[in-house]
């Protein structure tokens, strides 16, 4: 029985370690105010199918700004080069993008915004998207990239609930 408990504990530890490996905790301090902000970030990933020049080395990082009570959490995609997307709506100072996101086997339409020339795409339904990610092992984001067509980024997201709980405990 003791051996079985040890095996179960080791497997559980390895499982939790693997989930934690998907996320990085990052703290940022505002130089002017001294206020700190906490973020969790998935590890960067390239497109599933490589893009051509000049986008061949583009990677994406899924980032979440963490609020103490989750009311103001913000989720966005940060790219190593500013995304050059097609099929967007031009607004006052930003682009509006409607695209598909696959949460494990569930495909949903999502709306994102991109300030002109920004490296980031912000999900407009922060809480809904975070809840969908918490219930998923991976997501695939589809973007219509200029000159490339539909480009897909597969992001492992296992362990987000635990990471958010840990970061919120720090904030409270």
Q: What are phi and psi of 56, to 5 degrees?
A: -60, -25
Phi, psi of 94 (to 5 degrees): -155, 165
Q: What are phi and psi of 12, to 5 degrees?
A: -65, -45
pLDDT single digits (tens) 12-42: 333 334 456 889 999 888 899 888 889 999 9
Q: What does pTM read for this prediction?
A: 0.84
Please give the domain boundaries of the chain with CATH numbers for all domains.
2-171 (2.60.40.1880)
Could you give the CA distance from residue 31 to residue 27 in angstroms, rounded to a whole number? 13
- Average pLDDT over every residue of 139-167: 95
Between helix 126-134 and helix 160-171 the angle, nearest 10°, is 120
């Amino acid at each position: 029985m003791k051996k079985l408990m040890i095996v179960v504990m080791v497997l559980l530890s390895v499982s939790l370690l693997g989930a934690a490996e998907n996320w990085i905790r990052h703290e940022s301090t505002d130089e002017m105010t001294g206020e700190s902000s906490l973020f969790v970030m998935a590890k960067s990933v390239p497109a599933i199918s490589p893009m051509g020049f000049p986008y061949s080395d583009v990677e994406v990082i899924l980032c979440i700004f963490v609020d103490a009570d989750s009311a103001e959490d913000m989720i966005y995609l940060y790219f190593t080069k500013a995304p050059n997307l097609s099929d967007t709506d031009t607004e006052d100072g930003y682009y509006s993008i409607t695209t598909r996101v696959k949460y494990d086997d569930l495909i949903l339409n999502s709306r994102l915004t991109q300030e002109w020339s920004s490296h980031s795409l912000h999900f407009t339904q922060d809480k809904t998207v975070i809840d969908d990610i918490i219930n998923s092992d991976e997501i695939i984001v589809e973007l219509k990239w200029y000159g490339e067509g539909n480009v897909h980024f597969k992001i492992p997201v296992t362990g987000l609930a635990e990471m958010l709980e840990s970061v919120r405990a720090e904030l409270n």
